[in-house]
Amino acid sequence: AIQMTQSPSSLSASVGDRVTITCRASQGIRNDLGWYQQKPGKAPKLLISAASSLQSGVPSRFSGSGSGTEFTLTISSLQPEDFATYYCLQDYSYPCSFGQGTKLEIK
C-alpha cells in the first residue's frame, strides 16, 4: 500500500502569511492527489484535486502543485477562516491513503 507522509504536523501562522504544506508519497502516484480542509466537527471538504485543480468555490489563495511523489499545498495569504486541519489523500490506487494531517493554528 502507498504511504503518504505529510509535513508539518502543525503550523502556527498569522493572518496574511503564506504557508506551505507538503505530502510525499512512498511511490509515484502521477497527480492523483487531493487536498482537504477539515474544521472541527465538520466533514472534510475537497479543496484541490489532481494535485493542482481548484474546486469550484474555493478561493484562489489556495493552490497545489506537484506530481509523482512530491506535492505541496500553498495558501498565499492566510485568512481567519483558513485556520483548520488539512489532509492530503492519494487515490491513485486502492487502498487509498491519507496524510497524517496538518493543523494550522493562529499565531
Partner 1 sequence: EVQLVESGGGLIQPGGSLRLSCAASGVIVSSNYMNWVRQAPGKGLEWVSALFSGGTTYYADSVKGRFTISRDNSKNMLYLQMNSLRAEDTAVYYCARDRKGLVGYYYGMDVWGQGTTVTVSS
- CA–CA gap between residue 87 and residue 104 (Å, rounded): 11
Nearer to partner 1, 20 or 85 (CB): 85
- Examine residue 101 and tell whether it contacts partner 1 (CB under 8 A): yes
- Examine residue 49 and tell whether it contacts partner 1 (CB under 8 A): yes
Which residues from 69-88 bind partner 1, rule CB under 8 A? 85, 87
- Examine residue 50 and tell whether it contacts partner 1 (CB under 8 A): yes
- CA–CA gap between residue 76 and residue 94 (Å, rounded): 32
Size, binding site for partner 1 by CB under 8 A: 26
- Number of helical H runs and strand E runs in the chain: 0, 11
